[in-house]
Every structure is written in C-alpha cells, then in structure tokens.
Structure 1
C-alpha cells in the first residue's frame, strides 16, 4: 500500500496516520516495528510525525500466510470505461477493495493485478493504482490508474476536489430541507473502535452534500456528493443528522426493505483526464437488489 500524506493529515504520528487503512493502530505499530513501513524510502519509528507530501509505503506481506498465486481469480466486475492510461471499475457489493486482515485474497486490487490482457497492458503488467476506495458492501464506480504518474495526477485532482463522486443513498425518514451540507469532522469512534463517528479524539475535516431525489412515506432517496473522502463518511454523516442509510447494519438498521446491505451506490464519477484533458463522466445504474428495495419504499413499505 502506498499513500501520500495530505495537508490535513500533517502533524499526525505515523501509527495514527496508518490506523484507518490498516484496521487498527496496534497493527500499524507492529508493521512499523517490523520494518515494513517506509517514509520517503526510509524506515521511521511509529512516533514519527508526518509532513504533507511524504510518501508512506506499507509492505504487509510479512504477516500474510502463503496463498494461491492467483489471488483474484474468482473476482468479477464490470469496466464501463478504459483507455491506455486508466480505467473505471463498477464494483459489486461484497467485494473488498484492498487486502486486509480477514480478507487476504479475492480483492479488487488483486484481481486488477492478475495477468489479464484486458486489464494489464504490456508484458510487464502494472500494479493496480486505486485512487480511492469503497466500503465492502457499497457498490459502484472507482477510478484506477495504470501508471504512477496518472495515479499521482488523479490523487492531486481528488485533493483539489476536482473529481465528482456522486452516490445514491436511500435513508430512513426525510431530511427537513431539499438540499443541505453536513460539515462535521470524523474520526475513529471514542468507544467503538471499529466504527467512525463525529464523537472522536482525532477529528478530520469532512463535508458531505445531499439533495432529495425522491421522497416516500418512510424513506427518502438522496443524491449525495462527497467533498472529502473519510472512512464511512456518508454513512456516518447521515446517521449524525438522524437519517441513517437504509439497511446499514453498522450505522443504522439491517434488513429493511429486504436489503442485505446498506443502500449506498456510487452512481456517477466525473473528472478531467490527466493525460488527454478530456472530460470523463461515467454512470452506473442501480443494482437489481437496490431497485427492488426502492420499489418497496415507493409502495410504502417500512
């Protein structure tokens, strides 16, 4: 895993910076102490205070058991846009983006790195340059770079907020306004360490915009746009205004409207191509299970 320290992350300890990506601060500390983490090419202690622009690389292979060579062989996904520089993936719900504890194989990044002519140009292939991520049970669009230069350019565009990430979210109840912005810092929850919330000791800037797309008796379909991209941001922010995402087992109520996961879908991705300068806009229709839940909401079901 490689990441560039964003300006709003500067000043954090190295182990705190990596806690979200690696699942816990203790795991981050173990990898740092094992020499699996470098900052600008040099090993640093866990107490190292990161600066904006530093490149942090994590090699967690030391804690992974031996696994089959083709780790992403069973993974399927759609590719609605692709050229020689990048591709846009339509991720199904249930697919983990990066390997992590409990999900060492069968991830999207591993599938993209397979020897597959449709997704790997040239004889040498490429390492999947995922620019952002989606939660396991969130479906929809992700952009992937095919070179370090394109990856860096897309990350910079994301930090400048020049990438449009639009989601469809069905929420419980109805917001009091047709449009709104939720501006509330997010971090790891003080009490439940597997969750993120606005009740945190390490708040990070987070803003989410929403607009009502369709209103029903007990639910509302929102169009949600991210200005920042914190872990679980949409789910946390909508819970914070008392309108949790329908079917969300972590931040709301599971099993609503026949849902087996949260009703959250990354439906539109738009950005300027970092090489050609062309305007790229890709859309993804709602998956069938979300369409069925929407029909139940329209029918007045709880």
Structure 2
C-alpha cells in the first residue's frame, strides 16, 4: 500500500511536523512514504528517540495502526527548549551532539579581539544547567555574519571521532548565497588552491602555497533588476572562508561581504546561509539530515 495521501498541517522550520492521516495504514510505512528524501535509518531513529506521537501520545512502536483523521507529530530533536536566546535555536540534541540554527551577527566562538556572547558560551551554559561538569566542544565554525546550521560535540571522544573523520562523517553541507552580478553558467565547480594572508584574508594562490578547495554551485534564481544571483553552494572541501574567497575569485562576491569584494549592501548583512547539514552520527551510525529555509531577505531580492 502506498501512503501518499496525507495533509500537512504545520511546519515550523525543523522543529515539528504534524501530518493528518487520510488512509488506514501502519505507522512506519507511513513515515517512510512521507519522508522520501531521508534514509530509512533516519526515519526509524525518530521512533527510537521518542520523537513521534500519534494523537498526542508518544510511541516507539513501528506497527502502530493508523486510521483516517489521526494526527502524527514528529519532533526533530529531543531538546526543543532550554535555550532562550533570539540568536540561537537548538534543532537537535542527544547525549553526544547538539545541532543549532545560528542567526547572523552571532560569533561561533570568542576571538582574541572579541570576547562577547557566542554560540559556544550560550550552549556551554545550557549543558551546565543539567550538570556543572558538562562541557561542549567546537566541531566547525560559521563566520559571524553567516547564518544557519552548525554542530557541537558534548564530549571529547565524540569531538575527536568527528574531527578525525570529518569527510567520512559529514555527508552533505549546502549553503545559499546571493552574489553580485548575473552568473551565466547554470551550474559548475570552482576548484583552486587557497591560502591566508597575514591580514587573515583567504585568497586563491598557486598549488605550492595553498590547499585544494572545491565548491560546487547551482543557480536557483537570477534578478536582472537587482543584478544579483541566488546560488546553492555545496562544499566538497571545508577550507576557511572557502565560499567567500571563491565567489570573489569568479567576480561574483557575496552581497554585503565587503572583506571579499562586495560593493553593495542590499539587505544589511552578508547574504550567506548554511541551509543543509547531513552527517553520519559518530555513535549510532545513523544518517541525520537537517535543513533550514533560505532567509526571506534573500528571496525578496528576486520577487
């Protein structure tokens, strides 16, 4: 039986999904049919982690019967509350990892020159409320003016495991950017060597001086009126400021990114957003997929 007849009632980014059942069926096949873009292991983990409820009752039973009118709710992440901060939202938490959605303007971690409120300090306080001995560990960073998804480890063995096998652990990372000018090619890959200057700016260099960096791109929208292009960008390597340096290199700097060649600040921020993060959980082996939508300020430039 195919379970393609259901009604989506509510979706709040990556927090909660409520589906109204329209045909008699069984829970797990129903979930497989709904989440066709996710692996069966990931869908099964929603049940194992007590993230699924039917008519308000949490269930872990894959064979829970469904009848027309039942409401199936899926919560993405076991910790929906606990951080009350306008710049940061937890989208997933377990005993080993925290995945967050960071707003632009918030530092990932403190720097020598800037010691202020950061994603790291907010999450550190969050885990210490449960036990003062708890810690968090940085796995990767987003620039201050970049918004979107990033993850932290909650213990050192997981940190070491993830960072030592980063390319095998992280299955997919996609960004969205509004760049200056009209990108003519519909898709392609930018492949160069990158290095960093004494002024801490990353730039394209020759092979002997730098590290290889590959960025795939695909055009989503173009605006002749505003002379900008919306790109989906996929990191094949994870170099510091890779996307920003590559966009400047091809003559299409990210809107608002003055450090990397932008001359136009159309939306009051750097138009770069980390929208997709998928990885293999280092403890369970499950693939977990997270996404946040393209910011409205980006899409309004193409209205």
Would you say same fold, with TM above 0.5? yes
Q: Distance in 2 between matches of 1:186 and 1:280?
A: 30
More moved, 264-273 vs 226-235: 226-235
**1:169 — aligned with what?**
177
Structure 1 unmatched ranges of 5 or more: 1-71
Pairing 1:185–2:196 present? no
Pairing 1:292–2:297 present? yes
Aligned ranges 1:76-155 → 2 under 5 Å: 76-114=87-125, 116=126, 119-120=127-128, 122-155=130-163
More strand by share: 2
Pairing 1:195–2:201 present? yes
Pairing 1:238–2:247 present? yes
Task: Describe the superposition over 1:115-139 as per-residue Cα deviations: whole angstroms up to 9, x where unpaired.
Answer: x3xx348524332212110111001
Task: Describe the superposition over 1:181-236 as per-residue Cα deviations: whole angstroms up to 9, x where unpaired.
Answer: 111111113xx723110147841221111111122211111110111122211010
Pick from 216, 228, 233 the counterpart of residue 219 of structure 1: 228
**2:215 — aligned with what?**
208
Look up the SS of the partner of 1:256 in the other structure.
coil
- Residues 202, 125 of structure 1: CA spacing in aligned structure 2 closer, same or farther, 3 A cutoff? farther
Q: Distance in 2 between matches of 1:251 and 1:235?
A: 6
Bigger-Rg structure (1/2)? 2
Measured after TM superposition, the shift of residue 240 of structure 1 is: 0.6
Taking only aligned residues, the RMSD between alpha carbons, in angstroms, comes to 2.4
Say whether the 8 Å CA contact 1:244–1:252 is kept in structure 2. Answer: yes
Say whether the 8 Å CA contact 1:75–1:106 is kept in structure 2. Answer: no
Measured after TM superposition, the shift of residue 268 of structure 1 is: 0.7
Structure 2 unmatched ranges of 5 or more: 1-82
Counting matched residue pairs gives: 218
Calculate the TM-score normalised by the size of structure 1. 0.66
Calculate the TM-score normalised by the size of structure 2. 0.66
**1:63 — aligned with what?**
none
- Residues 242, 271 of structure 1: CA spacing in aligned structure 2 closer, same or farther, 3 A cutoff? same
